[in-house]
């Protein structure tokens, strides 16, 4: 068997690479080009930026979303209890406790759905108003503003699955939301459906 020196083996590998053959062994090691390294670094930077933006948006929505989540839990609870118990249920907001209260209209059965304020700053103010839309004949003009709604203390869910038509106005810090509820389904009435 004939032995070749390292120089002869490298020369043979280089000649094979020029012929289109794949060099054997570790004669030629492939390295990453500068463009490949820069491309990988750019992709890592892009994914990091997208992750941070999404994380920031999730953190900023928690206060208003916590109130809205508690509202939807309370309305779902009231509607379910009205259907199951065959007894009308009232939903109101307790400002001092920052909780929605679901209570049966004829019995002492009460449940509180509290707003999760565990991650809030202490100075965040929560205002919830349950409102009823007035008929056009009862609109009034107050200080140059047309008043189309009237605030109500509570809204009622009936044993047939319907509820009194109402709006809920949520004000949490600087975030304000108004949700109109469909009296037939108890779900949000979208702007196109409101007319």
Interval 132-162: pLDDT, tens: 887 777 777 777 777 777 888 899 999 999 9
Shortest CA distance to 93 belongs to which of 125, 119, 67, 62?
A: 67
How much of the chain, in percent, has pLDDT values that exceed 90? 24
Burial (CB count <10 Å: 0-12, 13-18, 19+), residue 89: buried
**Four-residue CA torsion sign, 74, 77, 79, 85:** negative
Identify which has the larger pLDDT, 133 or 83: 83
**Four-residue CA torsion sign, 143, 147, 151, 152:** positive
Residue 41 has pLDDT above 90, yes or no: yes
* Per-residue pLDDT at 80: 92
Per-residue pLDDT, averaged over 18-28, amounts to 56
């Amino acid at each position: 068997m004939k032995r070749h020196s390292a120089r002869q083996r490298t020369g043979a590998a280089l000649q094979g690479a020029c012929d289109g053959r794949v060099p054997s062994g570790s004669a030629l090691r492939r390295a990453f080009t500068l463009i490949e390294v820069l491309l990988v670094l750019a992709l890592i930077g892009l994914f990091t930026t997208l992750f941070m933006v999404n994380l920031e948006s999730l953190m900023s929505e928690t206060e208003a979303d916590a109130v809205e989540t508690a509202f939807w839990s309370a309305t779902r609870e009231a509607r379910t209890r009205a259907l199951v118990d065959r007894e009308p249920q009232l939903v109101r907001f307790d400002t001092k406790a920052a909780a929605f209260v679901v209570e049966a209209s004829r019995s002492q059965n009460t449940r509180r759905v509290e707003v999760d304020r565990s991650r809030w700053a202490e100075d965040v103010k929560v205002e919830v108003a349950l409102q009823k839309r007035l008929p056009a004949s009862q609109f009034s003009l107050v200080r140059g503003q047309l008043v189309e709604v009237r605030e109500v203390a509570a809204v009622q869910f009936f044993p047939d699955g319907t509820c009194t038509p109402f709006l809920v106005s949520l004000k949490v810090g600087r975030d304000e939301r108004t949700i109109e509820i469909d009296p037939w389904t108890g779900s949000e009435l979208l702007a196109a459906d409101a007319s």
